[in-house]
Structure 1
Amino acid sequence: MKFHKALVATVIGLSVAQLSFAQTQITFKSAKTSSSYYQMAVEIAQAVKKDTNSDVIVTVEESQGSVQNVMESAFRGANYVFTTPPALVSLAQNGKAMFKNRSNPKFNDIRALFPIPSLAMHFVVSEKSGINNFSDMAGKEILLGKGTFGANEGAKYIKLFGLEGKIDFAKVELSNAVPALKNGQIDGFVTSGSFPAPNVIEASAGTKIKILSLSDEQIAQSKRTKLTIPAGTYTGQETDITTTSLPVVVYTSTAMDDATAYTLTKAFWEQKQKMGDDSPWWKGVSTKMLSNITGKIHPGAAKYYREMGVSLSDSQL
């Protein structure tokens, strides 16, 4: 009897060990826990777990930003994935800007998996401000914020479009933008984020607003990617909004095996519709956004795209 119990215990122990060994563990370096991109990473982790019946488990790690994510790619293991704009990958691989004197040959091993919602620029103004285009912002009180991508990008556009020195910048924190707009303290604010952006939803729900569109010429001046926010995204928005965006992509490296990269990519696209039902920002993601990936795509992910009938450029393979 003792021998039988010992044998059963051994068999159970082996089975548990085999199951544990079969489970793939992924580390997902995302963003600050307060950001929408951290929430997106959590949603992707849940989607992968569901699609693979828990065969692949994704653990989300907080990050201080995309530069940190790229830097860590040179030192983390094979199952490390992270988010960053494609432009930063290019800078890292060429040792430019914030990666000057911090280059690493392993940056050349970075490979893309799939796109996620882009950072879309929103120039939000109250209807009563009378602002209908960028030139109308002259002499108005605009909240730009500081230290964020949206603030830096907004300041760049103000200079590009001849408004430098013509706008009164509100001394209000961006977190207070919505109440400041509602009480007339400011005429508008600039923000960036995946659409629909929570603070813009809040602003449109409580007061009549307009979100400015950029012309093709202005978009060309910005040297950013054109993006359309469909009509009806925000309360009272009856027409499409044309703006600029900074694409964001989920990356790994060549250290990840093809099967794992294939499984992650497949899980994302097969669960995307369900994710979109729960969080509207996923509805704006499509395979057309693969064209925003300027570097190479992981062979495992590329295999899935071929099965989907999606064409990739020679430079991506």
Structure 2
Amino acid sequence: MKHILTKGLRFVAVGAVAGGLIASAAVAEIYKVTSIAPGMSPFVVNTAISKVVNTKVDGVEFQVRATGAATKHMVDAAMGKVDFLFGSPTINWLMANNFGPYKEMAAAPELEKGVGMIFSYQIGPYHYVTRADSGIMTLDDMRGKKVFAGPPGGAAKGVVLRNVADATGLKAEDMDVVEFGFDAAIQAFQDDKIDVIVLPTNSPSPAIQQFALTKKIRLLDVPVEKLKINAATGGTVNEIAAGVYGDNQVNEGAVRTHGAIVNFSAGMHVDEEVVYQVTKAIWENLADIHEAAAWMPSTITKEEGLGLIASRLHPGAERYYREAGWVIPEPVTFGN
């Protein structure tokens, strides 16, 4: 297998042979898989895929790392520093147009070409969560409050701040927007150090379930009719049911919010055959992946697996879909 980054190779003794020599055989080549924080939908998806790949694909071992922002993971994958990743059409759009965190990165449009999609799925609704006793009843009440909108430089933060501005007129400077990663923000909310936390995740979310074990929480309704939701970059309109987080969720009715279609992708440096075998293992062992969470069967589906192809499929994934007889839609492209 041909790769541009150095990977660890583990060996195991397979038995003594004549003359007392020991023969060693390569067990698996290690591939780096990046994700955002544990408890978030992409982490659950990527770890479920890794479990399947590590047991069903010979010679391939996935190792999941949940550090940093997805915007950085995309660049790392394009540069061959990581292999498989949680991706997003929004990030493709930002890179291809030198927007947001890529404004000063001249190479971003070219780097965007270095990642190919494997399949798409719904990351879930953006949960705007506050303590029930915070006095915050609507998004307008976030003025002057400590708010976690997303990791610094992350796509989620930009999405949240744009939507809050469209819905309420509040700008980042009108709130105390805290600079945390997802892990630190989840802990800070648990410790009552921030007033509102916004988490894009399928429900029920393990992180939010933990909040509801120790405190009463309120999910804030988002007036989606005021938002500029762009389906081309994966934007969706979502609803979170009342009571999904048990008796400590004080909402009397469902709340509206926005969501996003995201994806599982690979760097274009990853060997086509490896991605072919990974893609094949995912769809041939879908029942195993669905066991990872209650929401998984309605999230990872063959019907929506190619629902939004961001820029391009990885050649290995495309070969699998063509051989399996899938209908492959035209990719959505984002460059000027």
How many residue pairs match? The answer is 296
Q: Distance between the aligned counterparts of 1:129 and 1:261, measured in 2?
A: 48
Gaps of 5+ in 1: none
Aligned to 1:66: 70
**Contact 1:157–1:222 (CA under 8 A) maintained in structure 2:** no
* Residue 301 (1) aligns with residue 327 (2): no
**Cα drift, residue 205 of structure 1:** 3.8
Does residue 191 (structure 1) correspond to residue 201 (structure 2)? The answer is no
| Counterpart Cα distance in 1 of 2:311 and 2:230 | 21
**What do residues 264-298 of structure 1 show as CA deviations (whole Å, max 9, x unaligned)?**
11222344433443334534333425323321112
Out of 242, 245, 252, the residue aligned to residue 234 of structure 1 is 245
**2:170 alignment partner, one of 157, 164, 167:** 164
Cα distance change on mapping 1:226 and 1:25 into 2, 3 Å: same
State the alpha-carbon separation in 2 of the partners of residues 80 and 121 from structure 1: 27
Structure 1 residue 119: Cα displacement: 6.1
CA distance in 2: counterparts of 1:167 and 1:95, whole angstroms: 26
Determine the structure 1 residue equivalent to 2:211. 203
Measure, in 1, the Cα distance between the counterparts of 2:176 and 2:206: 22
Please name the residue that 2:226 is paired with: 218
Q: Given residue 225 of structure 1, which amino acid in structure 2 is its aligned partner?
A: G
| CA 98–217 in structure 1, closer or farther in 2 if over 3 Å, else same | same
Once residues 167 and 38 of structure 1 are traced to their aligned partners in structure 2, the CA distance between those partners, rounded to angstroms, is 32
1:74/1:104 contact within 8 Å kept? no
Give the Cα separation in 1 of the matches to 2:100 and 2:158: 16
2:102 counterpart of 1:88? no
Sort the Cα spacing of 1:142 and 1:269 in 2 relative to 1 into closer, same or farther, 3 A: farther
| Separation in structure 2 between the aligned mates of residue 75 and residue 171 of structure 1, nearest angstrom | 30
Shift, 1:194, TM fit: 1.9
The correspondence of residues 117-128 of structure 1 with structure 2, limited to 5 A, is 118=123, 120-125=125-130
Paired residues of 1:211 and 1:241 also in contact (CA < 8 A): yes
Would the aligned equivalents of 1:151 and 1:190 in 2 still touch at CA under 8 Å?
no
SS in 2 for 1:201: helix
For structure 2, list consecutive stretches of 5 or more residues without a partner in the other structure. Answer: 1-16
**In structure 2, do the counterparts of structure 1 residues 125 and 261 end up closer, same or farther at CA, with 3 Å as the change threshold?**
same
User: Could you tell me how far apart the structure 1 residues matched to 2:117 and 2:178 are?
Assistant: 40
| 3-state SS in 2 of match to 1:161 | helix
Question: Take 1:171 and 1:110, find their aligned partners in 2: how far apart are those partners?
Answer: 31
Matched, 1:176 2:191: no
Q: Which has the larger radius of gyration?
A: 1
Query: Aligned partners of 2:175, 2:106: CA distance in 1, in Å?
Result: 38
- CA-atom RMSD, angstroms? 4.2
Does the CA contact (< 8 Å) of 1:28 and 1:58 recur in 2? yes
Q: Is 2:89–2:310's contact at 8 Å kept on the other side of the alignment?
A: yes
- How far apart, in 1, do the equivalents of 2:86 and 2:146 lie? 28
Q: With structure 2 as the length reference, what TM-score do the two structures score?
A: 0.67
- Separation in 1 of the partners of 2:94 and 2:37? 26
- SS in structure 1 at match of 2:306: helix
Query: Which residue is equivalent to 1:44?
Result: 49
Contact 2:149 2:177 in 1 (8 A): no
Q: Please tell me whether the aligned partners of residues 144 and 154 of structure 1 are also in contact (alpha carbons under 8 angstroms).
A: no
With over 3 angstroms needed to count, the CA separation of the structure-2 counterparts of 1:161 and 1:282, relative to structure 1, is same
| Secondary structure at 2:29 match in 1 | strand
Match of 2:79 among 70, 75, 78: 75
After TM superposition, the score normalised by the length of structure 1 is: 0.70
For 1:279 and 1:94, locate their aligned partners in 2 and report how far apart those are by CA, in whole Å. 36
Deviation at 1:51, TM superposition (A): 2.3
- Answer 1 or 2: which has greater helix percent: 1
* SS class of match (1:82): strand
Q: Percent identity of the aligned residues?
A: 17
Does the residue aligned with 1:176 lie in a helix, a strand or coil? helix
Give 3-state SS (helix, strand or coil) of 1:314's partner: coil
Cα pair distance change 1:144/1:293, threshold 3 Å: farther
Instruction: Find out whether 1:279 has 2:282 as its counterpart.
Output: no
1:263 paired with 2:266, answer no
| Distance in 1 of aligned mates of 2:60 and 2:178 | 47
CA–CA distance in 1 between the matches of 2:310 and 2:205?
26
